[in-house]
Chains A and B, each alone.
Chain A
Amino acid sequence: MTMSFANGLAALRPRIDAPVAAFLSSCVRCGLCAEACLFHTETGDPKYAPIMKLEPLRRLWSQEFTVMGRLGRALGLSKPMSDEDFARWEELVYDSCTLCGRCSLACPVGNDLTLMIRKLREGMVAAGHSPEGLRKAAHRALTDISPVGVGAQSARKLIAAQSREVGIPIEIDKHGADWLVLISSMEYIAFPEMLGALARLFKAAGQTWTIASDAYEATNVGVQIGSCDVARAIVARTVDAAHRLGVKGVVTPECGHAYQALRWEGPNLMGQAFDFEVIHLIDLLDRWRAEGRLKTKGKSGLRLTYHDPCQTSRRGGLDPQARRLLNLVAEDFVETSDPGPWNWCCGGGGGVSANPRARDLRFKVFAAKKRQLEAVRPDAVVTTCSNCRNVLEESLEHWGMELPVLSLTELVAEYLDEVPS
């Protein structure tokens, strides 16, 4: 047994808890999870069946955590796991799973396959079988803060430029601000206007906010690659900054997995409950809407539809919030088929968009989203995840579709009634 293989098994064993054992005990091999997964529906390849992606985890559980499995192994009836198994499953576990959660919602016995694939990645990465693109991103995130190489100086410049653009100061490291706001990698490199939109929204709502010079990034590549050590180090930066600056809460940006990483995995990774609130930007905006803090004027006349990011809608439950905000600013909002919890993934979540090897496959499986969009023929598609936004733009271009992709936050900011000076 090689060292890395042993590490992989050692990292995976503690992930097998009662829910995992209940899920694996209950699978009836009906194959319905495959019918819910875009990687199977769009390619027709049976190997992409979600339950198939879990085979290394299932075998480890069966061979070491069940009496019958242990007996079978002792009698030589089952083949022991090997490094080869991890190696063979790398593509299935990373390239063909966006952790979108659709399979988990479809399984008739209730198996949360997505949760298990996330756990399996812990073993894969410890065994040394993870995609190079994600490994490099994780390395950059640990050494330079940003997984895409936006250094602190570049971030400062972008923030200053947007502050000038909207004429509202954006303070860095402001002690005692109400909120510490995280910005996603994609927003820095592709959608910096988000910073200006945030400045206008916080001002309109009468709330103070800041960006931390040492925790200005929300992206948690540790959660994507499946390394709790990397994930913990990234979460720790934000927790330290929140304490140092004495903020009341931390706002995660328009990004699905960043929300899951900090809001739900964060306290468990750190081993303690947070003494500050963590809230997704859309949840906060909707709260302000309900409190009457967000006064908008006019509505967009465009025919708008909404792309539900998997981690905020299906696995986050923030789909009603997004729709309430959309209806605030959209005159002609049209739902696609399978809205909200059942939406189809953009194809690039869960680290897939950071994995160049998976590019062609993710373009292929975008066909599901394409059909949804073509059926409602919108003028633009709105979303609340900057990674989805970028993946949607790339995939639309790949398929030769001209369709603007908008941020809901930026849209709401655009229709703000007077921002007080």
Chain B
Amino acid sequence: MSLLLWAKGPGFALAAVLFLLGTAMRLAEILRLGRGTDLARPRGAAGGQALRTVFSRFLPAPGLFARSPVVHAGGYVFHIGLLVVVIGYGPHLAVLGIGGRGLPAGLIDGVTLLTMAAMTALLAARLRDPVKRLISGPGDYGAWGLVFLPLATGFLLVNRVLLPFEPLLALHLLSVEVMLALLPFTKLVHAFTFVLARGYAGAIAGRKGAHS
């Protein structure tokens, strides 16, 4: 079986299984710990604030954009860009079973380049800033690579650069599959757990009538 066929078939299935089971395991690992009942009389609404906090933390904290412009600008461009490329590109929509024509190829190309540029800036900031360097480990650089490779191979594939179509498609699929398979076991799992983290923070503060 060729690499491409493997990537399209068993490779994809394996990655999907690891992704789904791994994510379920990580979420179970968190939720099974539970929370003690809070016996203090509430002063505010936990539920409403939990929900609000899930969304309000998409906005930068006052004054922090200026203190950390690369993390903020790079973070927004990277996250939004990734989303646009994943769900805005026609062939991706077909694979996801959604259908539709997707966004123009030129636009997707531009967004991909912008997203990779943002990621490069974020990596440079991680390497240069003393705080980020201190708190970063192999997992942080590894996670960066896991996301960057699908973008890079996707760009090469669409523009038919370096290699012929088939090997490039195989590489692109494999890089996506590796990312999917490892996502639950790296910090990329925040793609799911951030909802829990923000929700808990909002609920804890909300019950007190405090800020979150």
Interface residues of A (CB under 8 A from B): 16-23, 25-32, 34-36, 40-41, 46-47, 49, 51-52, 65-68, 104-112, 115, 263-268, 270-274, 277, 313-317, 338, 340-342
In the bound complex, how far is the Cα of B211 from the Cα of A208, in angstroms? 32
Instruction: Check A31/B135 contact, CB under 8 A, given A109-B190, A317-B209.
Output: yes
Closest residue of chain B to A263, judged by CB?
A: B40
B211 touching A314, Cβ below 8 Å: yes
- B193 within 8 Å of A by Cβ? yes
Residues of chain B from 12 to 37 with CB closer than 8 A to chain A in the complex: 25-26, 29-36
- Nearest-neighbour CB distance to chain A for B80, whole angstroms, equals 14
B35 touching A17, Cβ below 8 Å: yes
Please report the number of residue pairs spanning A and B whose Cβ atoms sit closer than 8 angstroms. Answer: 175
- Nearest-neighbour CB distance to chain A for B32, whole angstroms, equals 8
Question: What are the residues of chain A within 8 A of B126 when measuring CB–CB?
Answer: 29
Question: What are the residues of chain B within 8 A of A266 when measuring CB–CB?
Answer: 40
In the bound complex, how far is the Cα of B30 from the Cα of A266, in angstroms? 26
Question: What are the residues of chain A within 8 A of B134 when measuring CB–CB?
Answer: 46-47, 49, 52
A52 touching B200, Cβ below 8 Å: no
B41 touching A112, Cβ below 8 Å: no
Measured as residues with beta carbon below 8 angstroms from the partner, the interface class of chain B is 35 or more
In the bound complex, how far is the Cα of B34 from the Cα of A21, in angstroms? 10
B132 touching A30, Cβ below 8 Å: yes
| Cβ contacts B51-80/A at 8 Å (1 or 0 each) | 001100100111110011001000100000
Question: What are the residues of chain B within 8 A of A46 when measuring CB–CB?
Answer: 130-131, 133-135
In the bound complex, how far is the Cα of B62 from the Cα of A272, in angstroms? 38
Question: What are the residues of chain A within 8 A of B209 when measuring CB–CB?
Answer: 316-317
Q: A20-B33, A35-B64 are in contact. List 5 more A-B contacts (CB 8 A).
A: A16-B33, A19-B197, A19-B204, A31-B129, A112-B205
B208 touching A315, Cβ below 8 Å: yes
Q: At the interface, is chain A mostly helix, strand, loop or mixed?
A: helix
Interface residues of B (CB under 8 A from A): 25-26, 29-36, 38-41, 43-44, 53-54, 57, 60-64, 67-68, 71, 75, 126, 129-137, 140, 185, 187, 189-190, 193-194, 196-202, 204-205, 208-212
In the bound complex, how far is the Cα of B135 from the Cα of A46, in angstroms? 9
A104 touching B201, Cβ below 8 Å: yes
In the bound complex, how far is the Cα of B39 from the Cα of A315, in angstroms? 18
Instruction: Check A22/B71 contact, CB under 8 A, given A29-B135, A314-B211, A315-B205.
Output: no
Closest residue of chain A to B59, judged by CB?
A: A108
B36 touching A272, Cβ below 8 Å: no
B211 touching A317, Cβ below 8 Å: yes
Write 11 A-B pairs (CB below 8 A) sorted by A numbering.
A22-B193, A29-B187, A30-B71, A46-B131, A66-B29, A110-B194, A110-B197, A110-B198, A268-B38, A272-B39, A314-B211
In the bound complex, how far is the Cα of B25 from the Cα of A108, in angstroms? 24
- Nearest-neighbour CB distance to chain A for B126, whole angstroms, equals 8
A273 touching B63, Cβ below 8 Å: no
- Nearest-neighbour CB distance to chain A for B125, whole angstroms, equals 9
B200 touching A342, Cβ below 8 Å: no
A317 touching B43, Cβ below 8 Å: yes
A25 touching B33, Cβ below 8 Å: no
Question: What are the residues of chain B within 8 A of A21 when measuring CB–CB?
Answer: 29-30, 33
Instruction: Check A316/B190 contact, CB under 8 A, given A36-B61, A109-B57.
Output: no
Q: Which of B30, B57, B71, B137 lies at the interface centre, i.e. has the most chain A CB atoms within 10 A of its CB?
A: B30
- Nearest-neighbour CB distance to chain B for A384, whole angstroms, equals 15
B136 touching A26, Cβ below 8 Å: no
Q: Which of A22, A36, A313 lies at the interface centre, i.e. has the most chain B CB atoms within 10 A of its CB?
A: A22
In the bound complex, how far is the Cα of B41 from the Cα of A46, in angstroms? 39
- Nearest-neighbour CB distance to chain A for B194, whole angstroms, equals 5
A40 touching B131, Cβ below 8 Å: yes
User: Which of these, B63, B189, B196, B204, contacts A338 with CB under 8 Å?
Assistant: B63
User: Which of these, B68, B140, B197, contacts A26 with CB under 8 Å?
Assistant: B197
Question: What are the residues of chain B within 8 A of A268 when measuring CB–CB?
Answer: 36, 38-40
- Nearest-neighbour CB distance to chain A for B76, whole angstroms, equals 10
Question: What are the residues of chain B within 8 A of A107 when measuring CB–CB?
Answer: 57
A26 touching B29, Cβ below 8 Å: no
Closest residue of chain A to B32, judged by CB?
A: A18
Closest residue of chain A to B74, judged by CB?
A: A30
Q: Which of A47, A111, A274, A340 lies at the interface centre, i.e. has the most chain B CB atoms within 10 A of its CB?
A: A111
B196 touching A273, Cβ below 8 Å: no
B64 touching A106, Cβ below 8 Å: yes
In the bound complex, how far is the Cα of B43 from the Cα of A277, in angstroms? 11
A36 touching B64, Cβ below 8 Å: yes
- Nearest-neighbour CB distance to chain A for B134, whole angstroms, equals 4
- Nearest-neighbour CB distance to chain B for A307, whole angstroms, equals 16
Q: Which of B35, B199, B200, B202 lies at the interface centre, i.e. has the most chain A CB atoms within 10 A of its CB?
A: B200
Q: Which of B53, B136, B198, B202 lies at the interface centre, i.e. has the most chain A CB atoms within 10 A of its CB?
A: B198
Closest residue of chain A to B190, judged by CB?
A: A26
